[in-house]
């Protein structure tokens, strides 16, 4: 039946680019989405036209019951999940003093609890088969911290700690856990940036451009691949040199 990848937040941006690259590697692709049903379904239809197994499944990764049902449905369709990419994410710019408790909780729930839910639901069948790869999507702001994004930076730093700890626990089970920490990537997440802000960010990037979704997706696919067989617990940073 071939290998299967489940990518959270694959309707748009980095997750969508990763879905295309995994499909090109002949993976069956489970495209998780929350709101962008049209984009997710059309991507699944396009990948199916190219001869790949593909399914678009709606779930809020912050909700345990929805994640359980998504994973069960993926397993019913494809038999196993070989690679999990925890990519779903939200961003918000707020002065620290203006962040509400509800905004703080949502940021943690999507990034940290979402990664926890997806890993716990996918892992039993990986542990049973003693193989699998997990790639979590952090951010350079989880490494370096971003002003006016304390909740986002905190959540992304937690994803790095989560990755390192889980890698140690799962290594003996033959499962690798790694993390990417992209720089500024030109996706819908950054659509609100002014032209001045974009120029300033490009100016701070040694490679002098914003990243494309495929710049980040290639790092994800690499970490999931056999070429990364002896790599676990690591943070790979496709960031154009912004944070070194």
| List of residues contacting ligand NAP (CB under 6 A) | 8-9, 11-15, 32-36, 60-62, 87-91, 110, 137, 139, 182, 184-185, 187-190
CB of 142 to ligand NAP, least distance (A): 8
**Nearest to ligand NAP of 173, 198 (CB atom):** 198
CB of 130 to ligand NAP, least distance (A): 28
**Nearest to ligand NAP of 153, 232 (CB atom):** 153
CA distance 114 to 216: 20
CB of 71 to ligand NAP, least distance (A): 13
- Active site members: 152
**Nearest to ligand NAP of 66, 173 (CB atom):** 66
């Amino acid at each position: 039946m071939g290998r299967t990848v489940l990518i959270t937040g694959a309707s748009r941006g980095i997750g969508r680019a990763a879905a295309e690259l995994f499909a090109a590697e002949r993976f069956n692709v489970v495209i998780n989405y929350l709101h962008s049903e049209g984009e997710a379904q059309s991507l699944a239809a396009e990948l199916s036209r190219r001869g790949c197994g593909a399914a678009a499944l709606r779930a809020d990764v912050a909700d345990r019951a929805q994640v359980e049902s998504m994973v069960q449905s993926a397993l019913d369709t494809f038999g196993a999940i070989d690679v999990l990419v925890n990519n779903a994410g939200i961003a918000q710019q707020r002065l620290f003093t203006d962040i509400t408790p509800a905004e703080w909780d949502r940021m943690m729930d999507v990034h940290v609890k979402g990664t926890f839910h997806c890993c716990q639901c996918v892992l039993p069948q990986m542990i049973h088969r003693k193989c699998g790869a997990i790639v979590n999507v952090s951010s350079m702001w989880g490494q370096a911290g971003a002003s006016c994004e304390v909740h986002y930076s905190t959540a992304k730093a937690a994803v790095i700690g989560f990755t390192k700890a889980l890698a140690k626990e799962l290594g003996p089970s033959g499962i690798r856990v790694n993390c990417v920490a992209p720089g500024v990537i030109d996706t819908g997440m950054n659509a609100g940036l002014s032209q001045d802000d974009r120029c300033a960010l490009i100016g701070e990037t040694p490679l002098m451009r914003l990243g494309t979704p495929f710049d980040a997706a290639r790092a994800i696919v690499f970490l999931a691949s056999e070429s990364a067989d002896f790599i676990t617990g690591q943070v790979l940073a496709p960031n154009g040199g912004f944070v070194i």
